[in-house]
């Protein structure tokens, strides 16, 4: 579980810092992306794939909804677990995400959700 990393995608630096700090305290490696474009760059750079993605839905240029649609349509990314953390009404994001949490997110809740998903993924590998 600890060898994998979680990709956190949000345009708000405070949210990126909060989620990074919460997960790193749990011993989870984190990479961040401040836009969908940056996240896609991370996913397609030929390196290690994340074990899980946490994304916001409301971001400039390309939204989290578009990001989720892309993830669910691209071979090799379809099975990545995704947690949506958003202040928006999730709507269609609910069907594309494994879990939707409303902002402001409870650090204990997000840490438990990530830990649980990573353990489940490790058990299924």
Residue with tokens 């390309």: 62
How do residues 87-109 score in pLDDT, each as one tens digit? Answer: 877 665 567 899 999 888 899 99
Are 19 and 30 a contacting pair, CB within 8 Å?
Answer: yes
pTM reported for the whole predicted model: 0.92
pLDDT number for residue 120: 87
Inter-CA distances, 89 with 30, 81, 108, Å: 26, 20, 22
On average, the pLDDT of the chain sits at: 89
Dihedral over Cα of 114, 86, 97, 41: its sign: negative
Which residue has 């290690």 as its token pair? Answer: 48
pLDDT digits (tens, 9 = 90+) for 1-19: 456 799 999 999 999 999 9
**May I ask the CATH architecture of the domain 5-124?**
3-Layer(aba) Sandwich (3.40)
- C-alpha to C-alpha distance for 90 and 25, rounded to whole angstroms: 28
């Amino acid at each position: 579980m600890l060898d994998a990393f979680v990709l956190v995608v949000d345009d708000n630096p405070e949210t990126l810092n909060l989620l990074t700090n919460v997960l790193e305290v749990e011993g989870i490696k984190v990479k961040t992306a401040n836009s969908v474009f940056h996240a896609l760059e991370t996913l397609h750079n030929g390196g290690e794939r994340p074990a899980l993605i946490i994304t916001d839905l409301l971001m400039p240029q390309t939204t989290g909804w578009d990001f989720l649609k892309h993830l669910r349509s691209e071979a090799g990314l379809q099975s990545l677990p995704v947690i949506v953390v958003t202040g928006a009404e999730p709507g269609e994001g609910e069907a594309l995400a494994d879990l939707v949490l409303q902002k402001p997110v409870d650090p204990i809740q997000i840490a438990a959700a990530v830990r649980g998903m990573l353990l489940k993924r490790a058990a299924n590998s």
